[in-house]
Amino acid sequence: MLLNPADRDPAATRRLAALLAALAILWPLLQAAEVKPGALFAADNLKVIGGFLAAFLPPETGIEFLGYLGKATLETLAIATAGLALAWILAVPLAYLASGAGREKASLNPVSRFLLTLLRGIPELVWALLFVRVFGLGPAAGVLALGLTYGGMLAKVYAEILESADPRPARALRQAGAGRPAAIAYGLLPQAAKELVSYTVYRWECAIRASVVMGFVGAGGLGQLMDQAMKMLNGGEAASILLAFMALVMAADGLSHWLRRRLEKPAAPRAAAFGPGMAGLSLGLAAAVLASFGFLDIGFGALFTREAASSMGEFAANFLAPDLSGEWLLKVAKGAWETLAMSAVGTLLAAAAGLLLALGRPRFLFGLGLNALRSVPELVWATITALAVGLGPFAGTLALALHTAGVLGRLYAEALENAPAAPNQALRLAGAPRSIAFLHGTLPEVFPQLLAYTLYRWEMNIRMAAILGFVGAGGLGQLLYFELSLFHYAQASTVIAAMLILSVTVDWGSAWLRRRSA
């Protein structure tokens, strides 16, 4: 007698329906991303990429070039630090206005919320490109771009952290007659301080990577040096720049990890670990920020002159009349669909590769591989993958997959290490193979966390996918780059609006999926 599969597994029907739905969604995304694995093994592409990679050896070690490299490395670090300082100055008041924390009624400021969405919805590379058009080449564009985008990101997360804290201390202070600022300062900040500082340190680590990417549009630092080396097909210089950037990212990761570990300690041990205490740390951070602004020598006073204001106003006015013609909207819609496909397929490929790398042994060797993957910016990967498979969305998809595999692999490895060991051990003691014990004992315990990490990364990848077209990887980025290069501001305005709408839509969809899986 044949049994219905649903009799053996009550969830079989639901799982089959979910699988069919996933395939129905994935197939058109694969088509839009132009995924053609065979292109990786085409003879012409292999010859081009082989010659390019062979030129990476040996790395350039000339004294003159190393001097330029050292200055660009310091400039990248200074841009990230100064940009995050500006972001923090912007984020604190915006988080206060946008958050419902400390209010007697949980009313939110819709204007502040919209401003946060606008700031973080437009990728920092787009802000940098716009500022380069206004202020010219140099680090000022990168610092301002980081300040705006990361200001929106920090403010949103700060507001959410304050809202998730226990509201009773703040409520008691308000009932005793204290104002909202005092209620937040004394009722909520002591609870949330560790998480707020930890997230800020993490964002500084991300800002270092972002500052390299912005160099590709002339915003200074290692990215600008890398862009020049790539355009000249100078593999030796590119190799040296990549090695310097990987060393910088790993050093920033190590410092960021050390700070976050210290913040996780109880109050007394933490004070001992920091030596002179938080006051000394704060002074050190302030000194680093001042040194960064001094090294860059931006001269922000020039930005507030009448000439600069007139230039910015004239430039911004060009974007106030977007092109809404049917033909152009259709072209933008196609670019948005390509961008969505690149982000979704790239994230899925990265999730699969990241999980395999997280499970790899020896752990130290695979850990180095993960660091190498995520240390190379997506825009650099896109330049390399475009040589491997040609221009188009597939190059962008591969670039996102390679970089994100390193990011997710590290996060997955930490989640798996922290997973409860009892279910897996019970299955192993019952005679189950290692693979079955992992699939049924460990994976179900950490799956919600792995899914949350993947969805969060998808939110970031949609913004990056929107700008990979700057190096020929298709999507909205390629449209924007062409239109700005031709000074077609009305068309560029439409593309930027599409980027913002797409980013907000993916954020909403990701949040909805996280709530459903919680």
pLDDT tens figures, 291-310? 888 778 776 665 666 776 77
pLDDT at 159 over 60: yes
Name the 3-class secondary structure at 491.
Answer: helix
pLDDT at 347 over 90: yes
DSSP letter string, 273-290: HTSS-HHHHHHHHHHHHH
Q: Letter for the amino acid at 145?
A: A
The answer to whether 80 and 207 have CB atoms below 8 angstroms apart is yes
For the segment 412-416, the average pLDDT, to the nearest whole number, is 83
Percent of the chain with pLDDT over 70: 87
Q: Is the peptide bond before 37 cis (omega within 30 degrees of 0)?
A: no
**The predicted structure's pLDDT at residue 400:** 92
**Tokens 């695979």, residue located:** 366
The answer to whether 492 and 332 have CB atoms below 8 angstroms apart is no
The answer to whether 60 and 234 have CB atoms below 8 angstroms apart is yes
Q: Which residues contact 488 (CB under 8 A, 6 or more apart)?
A: 323
Most confident stretch, 122-126, 199-203, 239-243 = 239-243
**The predicted structure's pLDDT at residue 7:** 47
Among 12-21, 64-73, 237-246, name the one with the lowest average pLDDT: 12-21
What b-and-e string marks burial along 495-509, b requiring 16 or more CB atoms within 10 Å of the CB? bbbbbbebbeebbee
Q: What's 141's DSSP letter?
A: H
Was domain 320-517 assigned CATH 1.10.3720.10? yes
CA distance 91 to 85: 10
Domain ranges of the chain: 57-315, 320-517
Two structure tokens written together for 291: 């040194």
CA distance 438 to 488: 55
Question: pLDDT per residue over 500-511, tens digit each?
Answer: 888 888 878 877
Q: Evaluate whether 57-315 and 320-517 have a shared fold.
A: yes
CATH topology of domain 57-315: MetI-like fold (1.10.3720)
Residue 262 — pLDDT band, cuts 50, 70, 90?
low
> In this predicted model, which residue has the larger pLDDT, 304 or 423?
423
For the segment 312-340, the average pLDDT, to the nearest whole number, is 85
